[in-house]
Amino acid sequence: MKKLNLTVWLCVCIFTWAQAQTKLVEKVTRKGNELLIPYEKYVLPNGLTVIVHEDHSDPVVHVDVTYHVGSAREEVGKSGFAHFFEHMMFQGSDHVADEEHFKIVSEAGGTLNGTTNRDRTNYFETLPSNQLETALWLEADRMGFLLDAVTQKKFEIQRATVKNERGQNYDNRPYGLVSEYTSKHLYPYGHPYSWLTIGYLEDLDRSNLDDLKNFFLRWYGPNNAVLTIGGDVNTKDVIKLVEKYFGPIAKGPEVKPTRLPAPVLAQDRYISYEDNIRFPMLRMVYPAVPNYHPDEAPLDLLAEILGQGKNSILYKNLTLTQKAVQANASNPASELAGEFTFTILPYPGQTLDSMEAIIRQSLLEFEKRGVTDDDLNRFKASYEAGTINSLSAVAGKVSQLAQYQTFTGDPNYMVKDMKRHMAITKEDVMRVYTKYLKGKKAVILSVLPKGQNLTAAAPDNHKISTDNYNAPEYGYEGLKYAKAKDNFDRSKRPAPGKNPVVDVPPFWTDTFENGIKVIGAKNNEIPTVTMLFTIEGGHNLSAFDPSKAGIASLTASLMNEDTETYTAEEMSNQLEKLGSSISISSGPENTVVVVQSLVKNLDATLKLLEERLYRPKFAQDDFERLKKQQLEGIANQNTQPTVIASKVYNKLLFGESSIRAVPMSGTETTVKSITLDDVKNFYKSYFSPTVTNLVIVGDMEQNQVMPKLAFLNKWEKKDVKLPELSPNKSIDKTKIYLVDKEKAPQSEIRMGYVAMPYDATEEYYKSGIMNYILGGAFNSRINLNLREDKGYTYGARSFFSGTKLAGPYTASAGVRGNATDSAVVEFVKEITNFRNSGITQEELAFTKNSIGQRDALNYETGYDKASFLSRIIQYNLDKDFVKKQNEILKNITKEEIDALAKKHLPIEKMNILVVGDKASVKPGLEKLGYEVVELDFEGNLITPQVAPAPAEPASEAPAGAASPATEKKKKKKS
């Protein structure tokens, strides 16, 4: 007993010593309206850097752990480890069971995720502020107590999940391998940027559990991590909790910065590959500079001048001339290198060598043109506005602090970042152009559509050489796993603090004389204003004339172009110099106008809004160009499995006669029939204040902003009749519909039926509660089965999606091709079991806790508030509807949930759609007991080829032929 007490005493001493050694490195505070993020920075004895930002505006906390390890710490033959470990870090640790991480955070009303790039991996949670200790306990447990929980079974399942992710995001996606090809030909063999973060499948196949564990031991120590906490917290309390949970974790091996020389190209490297695409692609990549290099910001501005926005040289030379669907330039930079990149998607009929020639001519044009004052002003104003907007949420501020600390060692680098961008001169831009582009060599990639015999920009001339490659010595030998010694019981999950009081944000309402309904709220966290106009109608208006489907989308696109006073380029120039934006887009049931502005520039922005709303020019040349783009986009849809799935699924649900079965872009036939006069008449007939709602969120009071909007009273009232849509198509029995996407490595699955319209407090809302544990949460039955248990998919889900119209209930996933039939079986099994057996009491408690505590996150940002207000005005909701929802959630019973499942999960009357490789998936689907119906990419029935009917038999059958009677006997026998 005395020995035990002595041990405890020693642990306490060690722990107290660790606490005493925590160092406050710096404290940064804001003076006046200075643009910075206040914080305190500490370092624990084990090397963990801790940054705390207090923000008491909302009762939320965001916790981020950034490890300075990405794919750049990998080596040849072992790619993808950093990303693989991102998955493994969610698979449980000593004191947190498998899948519990997601469950605990979700049940606490929070959200979480992890991301990996070339240079870092981060894990983060946003939670109600009373759950801070839970978040720190979870993150500390996987930092210090992970490896014993990493089993071979989990390893195999997550390897399958990563393969599915690669299939979904790279191998089965048009242009998905572009970066892989350019990277491996830009960088020397063995350079850690020469492969994608997700790695190669063959490397994942050859890796084993010990490889993965060694990777963790080498790079995931506290001395290679930054823990950043922001939100409604007290810094002193935070540091005590960090010392408790992270302090005992042992320091890891030393991690030294990586420095590699920029790649040197002796000649242009031409490479090519074929893909399942409509538009060929030309990509030119020049070696550039790393992140935070002095030349990075001038290169960013150079990219904007050359190929970003309507004032760029490539837009003028390629987009306006209708030679390219897309033409842009960018300057992505990472820790070790940068890549100045041109990307061109030419229209059919254009050649890739001609695209290369135009890029080179455009560079010469820039040399003569130089840099203008407007170039500088646009870039600086946009950068300032972007920086301000990034501070709207505590998650954004925490992420910035973590990134700056990880890569510069200075969390306050945002101030320096702003200064270096504001200090750019014309001479800086011309200097970096000369240094990195003029006369320099590039990797030039041609991506060619399969089966079209198109020619690359030039013949391939580069082969990867392994000469002079020396594998890095990262120090994996002799690594040992040593767990922390604690003076508390780490297995006990911390109890949450007192629930924060979350109030629905106060809002005001108003109405213009011409009928525009207005709802607004003040948000004084950043000096910006967001306005959201919703004009009812949208794509559904084509129900009046289905032969013109796609007109709403085309009209919205044209309204972003010339006005009577400004060309599109002039309008763009004015907006960018203000750091503002005005965008118009069309959706299924409405057209949306989004306005974003700094408060100081709102008056000037609203003058431009008035011009865009009231005086669109609808010029013939703009019409022809945008109509061509829309038609090419329609033709391109059939290269994308997810788009094919959505298009065919809607046709199955709503029926061929419904406008809801037609894509918003229309069809080739309908868009070809649209004339400029049709567009003008559509605008004249359907854009009216009588069907318009306006949401305003920003750092202004009602009496400040409403007078500025007086011009809206000039908008002429029109009586707009909205269409009554045809009844939805009924489903007699469940069938499988198969669309052949030849040789697709994955299959897209959609299954469901048309359910019900949205309501906030009745059956639709209650059914959303019912579906949460079935397919709404990450740890839902469907996702845990198909992703975590079976490894069939990167993610599977189910959801209701009603609006004012009845919308579908859908279960969906992209699954591994060879698991297609098995995935369908599991979907059906989970839905059937849930309908028949209902929810468990434990699941019901989880659902209530998870949904009930989310309010703290629902109203944090201006965008969150705008979405909330938009729902109120769109559906004419009572002011206390949130209170009613909370009462429903609190009181809903297992019996009610079970009854809703029986009513709204009619598994025997759902459409099951599979878009995949027919040759490999059809045999398995045919064994499931459903009728399998083949459809084409448009959802049309493919009629099986039937042999010609035999002639009437003669009195004697021809020699060697069987009589009809004999044939019948044979069939019966078989």
Report, in angstroms and rounded to the nearest whole number, the Rg of the chain calculated over CA atoms.
Answer: 30
> Mean pLDDT, the chain, as a whole number?
92
- Closest to 284 measured CA to CA, from 344, 338, 325, 226: 344
User: Which pLDDT does position 950 carry in this prediction?
Assistant: 41
Entry pTM? 0.89
CA 660 to each of CA 115, 668, 725: distance values in angstroms, whole numbers, following the listed order: 36, 16, 9
Name beta bridge partners: 751: 811, 912
User: Which pLDDT does position 191 carry in this prediction?
Assistant: 95
Calculate helix-pair angle for 763-771, 894-904, nearest 10 degrees: 100
- Closest to 343 measured CA to CA, from 286, 397, 288, 421: 286
- Closest to 295 measured CA to CA, from 191, 207, 122, 427: 427
User: Which pLDDT does position 944 carry in this prediction?
Assistant: 65
Which of helix, strand or coil describes residue 423? coil
Fold classification of 508-714 is: Cytochrome Bc1 Complex; Chain A, domain 1 (3.30.830)
**Average pLDDT estimate for 452-473:** 91
Residue in the block written with tokens 């699954």: 815
pLDDT above 70 (res 802): yes
Local confidence band at 860 (pLDDT 50, 70, 90 cut-offs): confident
Q: Do domains 2-246 and 735-865+884-935 have the same CATH topology?
A: yes
User: Which pLDDT does position 321 carry in this prediction?
Assistant: 96
Virtual torsion, Cα 8, 11, 15, 21, nearest 10 deg: 140
The secondary element (H helix, E strand) that includes residue 87 is helix 81-88
Q: Among the residues of 145-259, which ranges form H helices?
A: 152-166, 178-186, 201-206, 209-219, 235-246
**Average pLDDT estimate for 575-592:** 97
**Do 128 and 76 meet the contact criterion of CB atoms below 8 Å apart?**
no
Chain segment 421-438, per-residue pLDDT in tens: 999 999 999 999 999 999
- Cα atoms in the Cβ-side hemisphere of radius 13 Å centred on 428: 17
For residue 564, what are the contacts with CB-CB under 8 A and spacing of at least 6? 611, 615, 616, 617
pLDDT > 70 in the chain, percent: 95
Chain segment 480-498, per-residue pLDDT in tens: 999 989 999 999 999 988 8
Chain segment 532-551, per-residue pLDDT in tens: 999 999 999 999 999 999 99
Q: Which CATH architecture has domain 269-391+408-449?
A: 2-Layer Sandwich (3.30)
Strand 807-816 relative to strand 111-116: parallel, antiparallel, unpaired? unpaired
Q: Which of 906 and 207 is assigned the larger pLDDT?
A: 906
Q: What is the DSSP string of 834-861?
A: HHHH---HHHHHHHHHHHHTTHHHHTSS
- Closest to 382 measured CA to CA, from 290, 305, 270: 305
Which of helix, strand or coil describes residue 593? strand
**Do 854 and 109 meet the contact criterion of CB atoms below 8 Å apart?**
yes
What secondary structure letter does DSSP report for 702?
H
Q: How far apart are CA 460 and CA 449, in angstroms?
A: 16
What secondary structure letter does DSSP report for 317?
I
Q: How far apart are CA 393 and CA 864, in angstroms?
A: 10
Residue 795, amino acid: G
**Average pLDDT estimate for 519-536:** 95
Local confidence band at 526 (pLDDT 50, 70, 90 cut-offs): very high
Q: How far apart are the first and last CA of the chain?
A: 82
Q: Is 3.30.830.10 the CATH number for 735-865+884-935?
A: yes
Local confidence band at 946 (pLDDT 50, 70, 90 cut-offs): very low
Chain segment 339-371, per-residue pLDDT in tens: 999 999 999 999 999 999 999 999 999 999 999
Which of helix, strand or coil describes residue 73? helix
CA 680 to each of CA 301, 551, 721: distance values in angstroms, whole numbers, following the listed order: 37, 10, 18
pLDDT above 60 (res 952): no
Chain segment 915-935, per-residue pLDDT in tens: 999 999 999 999 999 999 999
Local confidence band at 940 (pLDDT 50, 70, 90 cut-offs): very high
Q: Which two tokens stand for residue 839?
A: 């929810």
N residues, the chain: 974
Name beta bridge partners: 536: 590
**Do 604 and 578 meet the contact criterion of CB atoms below 8 Å apart?**
yes
Residue 211, amino acid: D
- CATH number (3.20.20.10, 1.10.3720.10, 3.30.830.10, 3.50.50.60) of 2-246 reads 3.30.830.10
The secondary element (H helix, E strand) that includes residue 386 is helix 373-389
Neighbours of 727 (CB within 10 A): 11
For residue 959, what are the contacts with CB-CB under 8 A and spacing of at least 6? none
Q: How far apart are CA 93 and CA 953, in angstroms?
A: 76
Local confidence band at 290 (pLDDT 50, 70, 90 cut-offs): very high
Chain segment 675-707, per-residue pLDDT in tens: 999 999 999 999 999 999 999 999 999 999 999
Task: Please state the domain extents for the chain.
Answer: 2-246, 269-391+408-449, 508-714, 735-865+884-935
Residue 767, amino acid: S
